[in-house]
Chain A
Amino acid sequence: MEYIIAIFIGLLYACGVYLILRRSIVKVILGVFVLSNATSLIIFLSGGIQRGGAPFIPEGAETVDPATISDPLPQALILTAIVISLGISAYILALKYRYFDVTGTHDLDQLKNTDQR
């Protein structure tokens, strides 16, 4: 299973990289989405993907055997990552919207002359 997921991550990365290499800004944003998802998956995979129960401590018990539940730490990390990538994606979208509004172009190559020349 790990092999399949690893290949899947590789595919996500390939697609993400291809997208952010485009000149059209919309595609670049899509690429960012894909890449952030793929990166979350890497973290997830690192926790081990044996199918376990959700990481809860049952009522009445003090602790739980780590072997029976899925690893909680990567999940916590990914939670943070998802929320942050959501915030950033929303921001990029808004920025893109403004950018298109002001410049009237979505071609990144047109951006190159914004430096003082």
Chain B
Amino acid sequence: MDNILSLLIGLIFLAGMATPLLYRIWQKNTGLYLSVIPLIIFAVLIAELLQLAPRESSLLETSMGFLPGMEFAFRIDGLSLIFGLLISGIGVLILLHASYYMAKYDHQASFYTYLMFFMGAMIGMVFSDNLLVLFIFWEITSVASFFLIGFDHHAEKSRQAALQALLITGFGGLCLFFAVIITGNITGTYVISELLEQSIHLGNHPHYYLILTLTILAAITKSAQFPFHFWLPGAMQAPTPVSAYLHSATMVNAGIFLLMRIYPIMGGTMMWKYSLMLTGGITMFLGAFFSMGQRDFKRILAFTTISALGTMTLLVGIDTPDSLKAALIFFIVHGLYKGGLFMIAGIIDKSTGTRDIYDLHGLYKKMPLTTVVTLLALISMAGLPPMLGFLGKELIYEAKMQLPDVSWLLLPLGVGANIMMVAISITVFYELFIPDRKRKPIELKYKEKELPLRFTVGPILLAVVGLFLGLSPKFLETPVDNGLFFMGNQSAELSLSLWHGFNDVLILSIFTVLSGVLVFFIRRPVTRLIGKIITWLDRLHLPTLFTQLINKYVKSAAKNTNLLQHGYHRFYLLTFFLMVIALMGIQIFRITDIHLPELTPSPIKIHVALLLLVTACAVVFAVFAKSRLSAILTMGVVGYGIAMLYLYYGAVDLAITQFLAETVLMVLFVMVIYYLPEFAILSSKKSRLRDGIISIGVGVFITLIVLKAKFLNLETPVSEFFVANAYTEAHGRNIRNVILVDFRALDTMGELTVLTLAAAGVYSLFRFQIKILKKKKTGTDEPRQDDNKKMHV
């Protein structure tokens, strides 16, 4: 039993990778067979749930991991169980649903791959016990959702929506990454269990606000909270099963999960409360409000999801034991009805060919089963008894009423949002199912009975579960209690029941429902008003603004790149040298005040000085020479001068090699020179002056560096080892030679390789020319001398 969960999560990923192969065998039944894996996971989790002790968590450790310190360890407690159950359970239904819905799509194999990866990453994320691993799974969900949303990649719209979702959630992912790293640095561990056990709270740390901001950014981008909410309606471009999954149990709920997970570590402060209440409150209201103005069933649902996510964020932000409890319960409620409703949208879309609720009417005669199921889900969404949604909403009201300082704002917002929810539920039901005598009946493409069971089982099961849990919420007590315990080490007084008695909350509920019904009756002016507001707000259309922002960014990046990558060789070099001067300048400045034992300079020898003077004159002359030949000859003087210097200081071999190399080079140069152009002064006077100043600067700095380095003799030279061992170990009397061919033989080998390659390069360059450009051929040169000049000693 122990590590079966880890294996299963791995199995999901494996299945995802194998899907392209499996699809060839299973064809349209791929989804059907794949759903077995999440089903097993669901069963395992149910077994874990039955074993779950109220105040205990279990840890599944594995030795596998990305890196040391990032081992996969899975933590099973109430919180992860609730999320895991919903993700795997709804996952099964989604796969079944998709196996019919997607049957006529292209690239189904890749669809299932993305979906499996997405599912695996979600499950991995909620169970992972390591913040870094959590982050990695988090990112996988972002990437997988990108492919899922953009699945219909022929359409520009869906590509754009996918990109938008990816950029926003990816930005959140980066924030999460930084937050995780900083947290790990502060606490010294990335392991969640350890953080919880040591009851570390970062509230007093100086970096707390930074971490919290980053974490909240991560959560609200993922969970589509205001002002990042706009990617979610865009994500409607995804196939309906994907939307159903994204909205009900996964993706957008990941942000809520993150908030709950890190609540014990950084929750509960003023900033936590107010930032979450603010964004959650606004989102809750806006989502519900705008859902009224939509026509597309899926878009309506998308906006109600935004509202629901706002509610959850708000509840986590209110931060009382009751509100956290309400948030957890509401997550379950929402997952159950939203998954069902989206699948119903899929069913209706498939049967009628449209999702516009105002084009449809009177479906109840033709789709009685769908009608009942939809009714149950909508009741839950509206928060009416006997569904679990009622319980959820009651708890929410209770939580909101407990805060005297902010309830004056939260309560109206919450009640307002709920009124809209009730109204939209009734509107959807009315428009879809109640017949309108003035219009002609809707023709169905498929009769309800023709739809296979796997297509319809999802919403049915979810509605039944919602009803069941609503009637006997006791089943939820253990996991919720356990989750709450690990969230705050506090226990809320936990007794879940549908009937709370006649109190303020119930009055509020009744008021909500009545107002909702009222709004339903005046829905035409209301929708028109909201439509107007939406059009008016379209001037601030966030997706468009976002796209513009991205385009501007890309443009300015291109501009900057062109500025830096201008293509002028000398300016690259110029930048390089200026940087060198600057860095060396800083370094010299920094070490000026270090006093080290200075070595005495050796005495000046007049003849050597004269030699150097001549060489210096030669090099200056080479720079300003007008003719190529004189420049080359003076270069020869420079090389020979340096060789003489070597000779004077006892480096015989060096001098010989230098003489040889210089000669060969001169010969080579003279040979090619007649094929080369005359010297010409190409640069302007101004740029020559500038280059002159810069090169003098480089020269001065090099001199300073050389002097500094010269008089810093910090270590005993390693040469003493070579001197001592040259004869005894390597049996050679020429120490230099021994170093070259024995102690550092590999170096010499590399050197030979370079030489050979250069020779081969030179040879091929000339040969190539002879072959291709026969006209220009002038013969004579054979530049291969450089490799018959083998070296020295």
When distances are taken between beta carbons in the complex, the residues of chain B under 8 Å from A73 are 717-719, 722, 739
The interface residues of chain A lying within 8 Å CB-to-CB of B779 are none
- Which residues on B sit within 8 Å (CB–CB) of A79? 653-654, 657, 736, 740, 791-793
* Contact, CB under 8 Å: B699 / A14: yes
B661→A107 contact, CB < 8 A: no
Task: Flag whether B552 is at the interface (Cβ < 8 A).
Answer: no
Name the residue of chain A whose CB is nearest to the CB of B785.
A90
Which chain B residues border A84 with CB–CB below 8 Å?
Answer: 751, 754-755
User: CA of A109 to CA of B776 in the docked complex: distance in angstroms?
Assistant: 25
**B651 with A44: CB separation less than 8 A:** yes
Contacts of B664 in A (CB 8 A): 86, 90
Contact, CB under 8 Å: A30 / B635: yes
B728 touches which one: A21, A62, A107, A112 (CB < 8 A)? A62
**Complex contact B577–A75 (CB within 8 A):** no
| Nearest residue, chain B, Cβ from A84 | B754
A71-B717 CB under 8 A given contacts A3-B707, A106-B677: yes
B566 contacts A112, CB within 8 Å?
yes
Q: Are A41 and B735 in contact (CB under 8 A)?
A: no
A49 to B650, CA, bound (A): 9
User: DSSP class of A's interface residues: helix, strand, loop or mixed?
Assistant: helix
B567 interface hit (Cβ, 8 Å):
yes
Q: Which of B602, B706, B747 contacts A80 (CB 8 A)?
A: B747
- Min Cβ gap B746→A in Å is 11
Mask, B676-696, CB within 8 Å of A = 1, is 110110110000000110111
Chain A residue with the shortest CB-CB distance to B761: A91
* Contact between A7 and B786, CB atoms less than 8 A apart: no
Distance in angstroms between the alpha carbons of A30 and B618 in the assembled complex: 13
Looking at the complex, which one of A3, A41, A63, A108 makes contact with B569 (CB distance below 8 Å)? A108
With A and B bound together, what is the CA distance between A7 and B684 in angstroms?
29
Are B682 and A107 touching (Cβ within 8 A)?
Answer: yes
- The reply to whether A51 and B650 form a contact with Cβ atoms under 8 Å apart is yes
Whether A13 contacts B740 in the complex (CB less than 8 A), given A63-B727, A100-B675, comes out as no
Give the distance in Å from the alpha carbon of A22 to the alpha carbon of B677 in the complex: 14
- Chain A neighbourhood of B270, CB < 8 A: none
Near A by CB (< 8 A), chain B positions 697-718 give 698-700, 702-703, 706-707, 709-710, 717-718
Docked-complex contact A72 and B723, CB < 8 angstroms: yes
Contact A55 B657 (CB under 8 A): no
Question: Chain A, 18-57, contact with B by CB distance < 8 Å: what is the 0/1 string?
Answer: 1111111011001001100110111011110111111111
**A90 nearest CB neighbor, chain B only:** B786
Contact of B623 among A19, A58, A106, A111 (CB under 8 A): A19
A14 near B608 (CB under 8 angstroms)?
no
Q: Are A15 and B682 in contact (CB under 8 A)?
A: no
Which residue of B608, B650, B765 is within 8 Å of A1 (Cβ)? B608
Residue contact B762 to A94, C-beta cutoff 8 Å: yes
Residues of A within 8 A of B676 (CB): 26, 96-97, 100, 106
Question: With contacts A47-B719, A72-B723, A90-B759 known, what are 13 further pairs, Cβ within 8 A?
Answer: A7-B703, A13-B695, A14-B699, A44-B649, A44-B654, A52-B649, A54-B653, A86-B786, A87-B786, A90-B668, A90-B762, A101-B773, A108-B568
28 pairs across A/B with beta carbons < 8 Å? A14-B699, A15-B623, A17-B577, A17-B699, A18-B692, A21-B577, A22-B683, A24-B680, A42-B706, A51-B648, A57-B734, A73-B719, A75-B646, A76-B740, A78-B654, A79-B653, A83-B657, A83-B755, A87-B754, A87-B786, A90-B668, A93-B668, A93-B762, A94-B672, A100-B676, A106-B680, A112-B567, A112-B569
